[in-house]
Amino acid sequence: MKQTPTTLSVPAPAKLNLFLHITNQRSDGYHELQTIFQFIDLSDTLEFTLTDTDEIRVTQQNAHSTSEIIEEKDNLIYKAATALLPYRQAPQGIRIKYEKRIPSGAGLGGGSSDAATTLLVLNELWQCQQSLEQLRAIGLKLGADVPVFVNGTAAFAEGVGEHLTPVSPNTPWYVVIKPNAHISTAEIFSHPDLTRNTPTLKISAALEHGGHNDCENVVRALYSEVDQALKWLAKFSPSKLTGTGACVFAEFPTESEALAVAQQYADSTAIFVAKGMNDNPAHRVLQELTF
Ligand SMILES: C[C@](O)(CO)[C@H](O)COP(=O)(O)OP(=O)(O)OC[C@H]1O[C@@H](n2ccc(N)nc2=O)[C@H](O)[C@@H]1O
Ligand SMILES: Nc1ncnc2c1ncn2[C@@H]1O[C@H](COP(=O)(O)OP(=O)(O)OP(=O)(O)O)[C@@H](O)[C@H]1O
């Protein structure tokens, strides 16, 4: 059995929405969805160190490499740590250094995954003794995509993303393009032209036939970069939007086929290849440790 090291380094993977249907708009304005979430092996890394002060400190290690600087108190990592304070049994503070690789505003759920990893790790380090169900509920208040990362398995999701049924879709290789656009989820969900009443699918039909992304028409019309990326990728394999964009993706059976396509894209910094995963690797890292 391994001992818990003083500093713990834990991944926070990105997700794709393999399809996304909007089935209803609730009276509070939020949209009810059906989607399949799958993780991919593009991850941020969060490094946790317990401290003798009472503070929560969050700093980015590679601030130079991302365009967006997030204020410490606006960071979902900080918000997740703060949300666990009422349950903390250990009299220690925490320093969290994070390295971002997942682009923001991209539909890849990077902020949500960072928040989920923070909840999972601090639940152990601070001996909060919250069940996965309690952590999912705490996470949902931080963002609709947090519960699936907390749960840790690919899932068919309903509601605003909180009703989760674990599924095991194929795990192909994906080519993912990040068009030069930063898309706000609120902007897309408030658009008058958004499709809001797609009939609900049964889970078996969702797994067998998948579906499309109901945000795609609006995003394509607003962002020509996304439209162009979808068209380029569709020359090789059916292309889709993830979340509310901006990223688009297509699947390939092998890594070499995916890499061969990615190499043909004019901007090598805006395209990457990633493997689909049905388990959140943060859980695996935590299971290997003794607390
Ligand atoms: C599109 C998805 O990425 C699918 O996985 C998520 O549903 C988005 O969830 P999220 O990033 O956590 O979204 P938030 O940042 O909480 O929402 C931003 C805004 O989008 C709108 N919103 C969001 C999610 C949802 N199911 N219906 C909505 O109408 C709300 O106005 C909300 O204030
Ligand atoms: N740790 C974080 N990482 C990324 N973004 C964060 C973080 N903390 C706060 N944010 C804020 O959240 C916003 C959305 O980030 P995120 O990466 O989750 O969006 P997204 O990729 O569009 O995900 P989604 O699919 O959930 O909409 C960012 O623009 C940023 O201002």
**CA-wise closest residue to 47 among 1, 6, 101, 92:** 6
pTM, to two decimals: 0.95
Confidence label for 74 from pLDDT (cuts 50, 70 and 90): very high
pLDDT tens per residue, range 102-135: 999 899 999 999 999 999 999 999 999 999 999 9
pLDDT over 60 (residue 268): yes
Phi, psi of 115 (to 5 degrees): -65, -45
Q: Note whether 167 and 155 are within 8 A (CB).
A: yes
- Tell me the best of 32, 36, 158, 189 to mutate to test the pocket of ligand 1, counting ligand atoms within 8 Å of each CB and taking the most: 189
Measuring from each residue's beta carbon to the nearest atom of ligand 2, which residues come in under 6 Å?
Answer: 70, 74-77, 104-112, 114, 145, 185, 243-244
- Taking the CA of 45 as reference, the closest ligand is 2
CA–CA dist 197, 161 (Å, integer) = 17
Interface predicted TM-score of the whole assembly (ipTM), two decimals: 0.94
pLDDT over 70 (residue 4): no
pLDDT tens per residue, range 207-226: 888 789 999 999 999 999 99
pLDDT over 80 (residue 65): no
Q: Write a three-state SS string for 159-213.
A: CCCCEEEECCCCCCEEEEECCCCCCCHHHHHCCCCCCCCCCCCCHHHHHHHCCCE
Measuring from each residue's beta carbon to the nearest atom of ligand 1, which residues come in under 6 Å?
Answer: 17, 20, 29-31, 33, 35, 107, 112, 143-145, 160-161, 185-186, 189, 243-244
Q: Exposed (0-12), middle (13-18) or buried (19+): which is 56, by Cβ within 10 Å? A: buried
Mean pLDDT computed over 162-176: 96
CA–CA dist 280, 259 (Å, integer) = 24
The residue whose CA is least distant from atom 5 of ligand 2 is 111
* 100 in catalytic set: no
Set 44, 114, 145, 214: catalytic member: 145
Domain boundaries, the chain: 1-291
Q: For 1-291, CATH number?
A: 3.30.230.10
The rounded mean pLDDT for the chain is 94
Q: Note whether 164 and 132 are within 8 A (CB).
A: no
* 15 in catalytic set: yes
pLDDT score of 1: 46
pLDDT score of 191: 97
> What is the position in ligand 1's atom list of the atom closest to the CA of 109?
3
- Tell me the best of 68, 70, 102, 142 to mutate to test the pocket of ligand 2, counting ligand atoms within 8 Å of each CB and taking the most: 70
Can you say which residues are annotated as belonging to the binding site? 103-113
% of residues, the chain, pLDDT over 70: 97
